[in-house]
Amino acid sequence: MSFPERVQNVFYTFMYQWIVEEIWSHWNSYYSEVLGEPTTLCETMGKADIWLIRTYWDFEFPRPLLPNFVFVGGLHCRPANPLPQEMEEFVQSSGEHGIVIFSLGSLVRNLTDEKANLLAEALGQIPQKVIWRYAGKKPRTLASNTRLYDWLPQNDLLGHPKTRAFITHGGTNGIYEAIYHGIPMVGIPLFADQPDNLAHMKVKGVAEVLNFATLRAQDLVDALNTVINGTRYKENVMKLSRIHHDQLLTPLERSVYWIEFVMRHGGAKHLRPAAHSLSWYQYHCLDVVALLTACLAAFIFLFTKCCLYCCRTCKCKKVQKNKTQ
């Protein structure tokens, strides 16, 4: 990251920590009630022996992690199944241009009329057929190359040989299905972890990212043409796909192994760091810093006093010598 980005990152880190603590505080009473003793959500999470992390090094950047972190990104991914007949016929009608899959996730089922019409207008300007997961009012600018569905077999569509690009909000599940099947992306992040997820994909060269608030129809058209016609996007996502598939165990097998490992051994305390048992000032070594600072201050104080005493002693002897002379 550049220096301004690093400053922004630190600011967001502290802001996120504050937001999370505010949200967690509402769960503390619930967890205390369930467990029958005073506790907090943070304390309960800290007692976990194994963490199954839903990413992998095809998505993540290298960083040091604890031994009880197990990466199982793409746990839900699988080879594509045949599409329903009506959907398959529409896909096959795309010819050599292929299709584009568009989904903003299960939480966003509709948009304002203005945004929906803008997106439909943009999709009508590309040569590909478009399958759009959308349950809102039919946009008036919807073109003949775009078909709306309340629900999509997303994994099966991304695994179809005619799929050229995936317009996504940046949810982890959708991103991993795209990586699994080697499909470049156009990201339109909305909230939560989506901007960060798509920032990973942009840096790795497999996605173009757009701002939903300032989005124009031409922006979406240009982004789609870039990722579909630019060979580097397809090459980069295929590289990530090969990394994802080249694992000793599948994510599902790895998840099952570690869950059963914890069951066989009654936990995995040997992998759990002692940091969870430390207070905040011990964790950050503030007590050690305070002691060393106090020792240094005492040394400087004594050294200064000794120097001043020596200076005064020498000065007095010099004055007495002058008086004697």
Say what the pLDDT of residue 319 is: 62
- Give pLDDT tens digits for 128-185: 999 999 988 899 999 999 999 999 999 999 999 999 999 999 999 999 999 999 999 9
Residues 239 and 126 in one domain: yes
In a domain, 279, yes or no: no
Residues 172 and 123 in one domain: yes
Say what the pLDDT of residue 13 is: 84
In a domain, 183, yes or no: yes
Residues 214 and 126 in one domain: yes
Taking each helix axis from N to C end, the angle separating 172-181 and 194-203, rounded to the nearest 10 degrees, works out to 30
In a domain, 276, yes or no: no
Say what the pLDDT of residue 108 is: 82
CB atoms within 10 A of CB 200: 17
Say what the pLDDT of residue 216 is: 94
Residues 39 and 167 in one domain: no
| 131 beta partners | 101, 147
In a domain, 278, yes or no: no
Say what the pLDDT of residue 55 is: 93
Residues 236 and 301 in one domain: no
**What DSSP string describes 205-242?**
TSEEE--STT--HHHHHHHHHHHHH-HHHHHHHHHHHH
Task: Note the pTM of the prediction, 2 decimals.
Answer: 0.83
Say what the pLDDT of residue 205 is: 95
Residues 44 and 173 in one domain: no
Residues 122 and 64 in one domain: no
Residue reference for tokens 């369930």: 34
- Which residues in the chain show pLDDT less than 70? 317-325
Residues 176 and 44 in one domain: no
Q: In 139-277, where do the E strands start and end?
A: 146-149, 163-168, 185-187, 207-209
Say what the pLDDT of residue 24 is: 73
In a domain, 49, yes or no: yes
Residues 97 and 199 in one domain: yes
Looking up residue 156, the CATH number of its domain turns out to be: 3.40.50.2000
DSSP state of 295: H
Residues 206 and 255 in one domain: no
Say what the pLDDT of residue 248 is: 92
In a domain, 277, yes or no: no
Helix or strand (DSSP H, E) at 145: none
The domain tally of the chain equals 3
SS3 helix, strand, coil % of the chain, rounded to 5?
A: 55, 10, 35
Say what the pLDDT of residue 68 is: 92
In a domain, 145, yes or no: yes
Say what the pLDDT of residue 322 is: 63
Residues 123 and 32 in one domain: no
Range(s) of the domain holding residue 320: 285-324
Residues 107 and 229 in one domain: yes
In a domain, 312, yes or no: yes
